[in-house]
Structure 1
């Protein structure tokens, strides 16, 4: 009797993706928090900090999204789930909104409000919904394969 070999879902790229993917989301949540604080206090420190956070968030978003692009569109297995595709496009929307937000934050002081707040909300909402969809898909995958070796 021969044991069936199941292909491993682990690879170096998935490890790097899982390590780096939450980092930009954290930066973008910080941008949203700082934008809301700046809108309420008009202290320039918060706007300048948000500008730095959105820049670092975009820098840290490059590698995980390139990995996501390769896995979703150029993978050898040619089987991609609907959740992976939706997450990919929601991340693209979030990153484009964050890029526009970076340009908005290059303005002088109060010219950032309200555009910066709305773009931060769009960025966090798009990336958050993508994460929720992907997390629900992982849970479903684990439930369907429960008990199988």
Structure 2
């Protein structure tokens, strides 16, 4: 009877996504346009099995306009605001920093399809947060200075 219970419990764990049979979530690496089309984020490997994300492109209306600034008055260009994403069941878990306030939150990133990513930033519990949907960026590689022409992300 114990063997049967152990086998049933093991099958339940596998079905729930635990154990060796659970597949890693799809890799979120690549370029993504933020939900409101404000900029381009690059998610990239940043350690063994980890992913990070940096702001790499902004639409700038005029060539003399400054790039957006962080809460501590540094340029947001190449600012790493997603950190230490690691695979966990069907999503990538890590942390995110709000570039305007400097506040840190937990983050859950899930690739919904080849062209859509869901990012949830939250404080303490996932229910205490906000979700954003990003779309895959397929344009030219953003320039080193992060300045992109108007309407380039539409």
- Taking structure 1 as the reference length, what is the TM-score of the superposition? 0.27
Which structure has more helix as a fraction of its residues? 1
Q: Which has the higher contact order (CA 8 A, sep 6+)?
A: 1
- Taking structure 2 as the reference length, what is the TM-score of the superposition? 0.26
